[in-house]
Amino acid sequence: MNTILLFLTILSISFLGANSSGEIIAQIGDKVITVQDFIERAEYTPRPLYCKGNSTIDKRIILNTLIGEKLFSMEMKKDIPDAIDKYLIGRKNQKMREVLFSHVTSEVLIQKDKFSHWYNLASLEYDISYLSILDIELVKEISNSMTAGESLNDIYFSYTNSLDIPTREKINLFTIGNRALREELFSKAWSKGDVLGPIVTDDNIIMFVQVDKRKKVVDLKPNAIMQMNDEISTLISSHLQEGKYEKFVSNLMSDMTFDLDPKVYLEFSESIRKWYNEMDDIASASGNKNSQLKIESTEDILLSLNGEKISVDQVISWLAIHPLVFRDGYYKDLNFSDQLRYALADLIRDRTLNDKSREFNLDKHPKVIAEYDKWYDNYRAIAQRKEIVGEEFLNSTKVGSALNAYFTSLTQKYTEQIKINVELLDNISLSSIDMATYNKIGPYKLTVPFFPVITDTYKFNYGQPISMDIYE
């Protein structure tokens, strides 16, 4: 079986109409499972073979599993370990930033006329060569060289002594993640040999781009034009929203100062580098990453943030909630010390965004609370399962009798607190294709917990029928 990896920030619900996604499919005490919850848990990570299909039995096993997850969590009496507590807080904070994006951009002025030319340029596909530069003085030198008639390839060779200038192929409107580059490259129909730049990208890298090839890709399938226009319209909307959010973040961070102590940072960077290398070695040997960061002088002042002295120990405590995220693209070619510097800057940015989110009371937003509860209940359920069956081998073909018996006992214990909307469940259609969906940004990549082995029971011989909405 092939696993399809879908790298998405937000995966829309296409299986049902949008109006039904918030409807409650099951309620367990004060905990609820919505249609969207059900689909995400069933579709965004591979399911065991015993509930892999779309039959009534499959869907009932899935719902029983999710109900069981809540019940197992309710029965778990042990305290959550400190490391898990910090992980859950990190998950909640990441969701707060997602909700903040929606909050900031909800009333964005959709000036679609500004990008109406994209409808005519969407069929274009470019192969490009490019230079990515951080040094502003170097930008001036390169601009002067281009004015003097030097090609981009020659300029690259003169600075690197290499003929292998970075390239990208088959670039279209939808494959560019950088807004500034998208706007420039698709501001008109460029020709082979055209050089664009200097372009200041979204992350303040300066680029020169040379068009090596241009071609027109036309889809002749029925309704292709209509579908393409819909996709362009969606892209324009998201492009404008991202632009508004970037301005919001830029304004928020504009007055902040961030200074690293050179000596302490050198030692800190080397410790982090060794830690990451050690984790990679362990992962290669055993399949898991389990290593401890070793730093001797944790009380040393690592950085100054708006004049406040921040110790190494404080930064380490931040990392327990928000693991480092290293930038992709050009940044991967930088030495580790510089990569880490940008990762720390992004960490500080995200902490600032979370502070702003709390000012908007987004920590109490239903989606944020639901995100925390989802991961909280999953951890507690898995911990409780371990209490019941220990380290018993779990497979994808069947669930052991002990787990099924425990699930059944809990459904009877809590039967008066459980309500199920069977009609709503029957109307859901699921795919049998294995999928694993990931967040494109943020330190926590999995969008949902792995599907838990709880029960393969399909009967609803407990609870009461319901039909209600979670949101008005």
| Residue 273 counted as domain residue | yes
- What average pLDDT is seen over the chain? 87
**Tens digit of pLDDT for each residue in 373-432?**
999 999 999 999 999 998 778 878 899 999 999 999 999 999 999 999 999 999 999 988
Confidence of residue 248 (pLDDT cuts 50, 70, 90): very high
pLDDT value at position 29? 94
Q: Describe the strand order of the beta sheet including 258-260 as a list of residue ranges.
A: 258-260, 301-305, 308-311
- Check whether residue 291 and residue 246 sit in a common domain: no
- Check whether residue 207 and residue 311 sit in a common domain: no
Please state, as a whole number, how many other Cβ atoms lie within 10 Å of the Cβ of residue 97. 19
| Residue 365 counted as domain residue | no
Which residue did the predictor score with more confidence, 282 or 403?
403
- Check whether residue 140 and residue 219 sit in a common domain: yes
Domain boundary among 359, 385, 416: 359
| Residue 185 counted as domain residue | yes
Residue 357 has pLDDT above 60, yes or no: yes
- Check whether residue 166 and residue 184 sit in a common domain: yes
Ramachandran angles phi, psi of 198, nearest 5°: -75, 135
| Residue 146 counted as domain residue | yes
Which residue did the predictor score with more confidence, 280 or 392?
392
| Residue 308 near residue 315, CB atoms below 8 Å | no
- Check whether residue 262 and residue 327 sit in a common domain: yes
Confidence of residue 284 (pLDDT cuts 50, 70, 90): very low
The CATH number of residue 146's host domain is: 3.10.50.40
**Tens digit of pLDDT for each residue in 330-355?**
778 788 999 999 999 999 999 999 99
Structural domain span for residue 96 = 92-104+257-359
- Check whether residue 379 and residue 403 sit in a common domain: yes
- Check whether residue 86 and residue 11 sit in a common domain: yes
Of residues 49, 69, 15, the one with CA closest to residue 424 = 15
Average pLDDT over residues 78-96: 96
Q: What is the distance, to the nearest Å, from the Cα of residue 429 to the centroid of all Cα atoms in its chain?
A: 25
Residue 91 has pLDDT above 90, yes or no: yes
3-state secondary structure of 73: helix
Global confidence as pTM:
0.83
- Check whether residue 303 and residue 398 sit in a common domain: no
pLDDT value at position 201? 87
- Check whether residue 156 and residue 228 sit in a common domain: yes
DSSP code of 436?
A: E
- Check whether residue 66 and residue 118 sit in a common domain: no
Q: Number of folded domains in the chain?
A: 3
The letter for the amino acid at 468 is M
| Residue 167 near residue 211, CB atoms below 8 Å | no
pLDDT value at position 161? 86
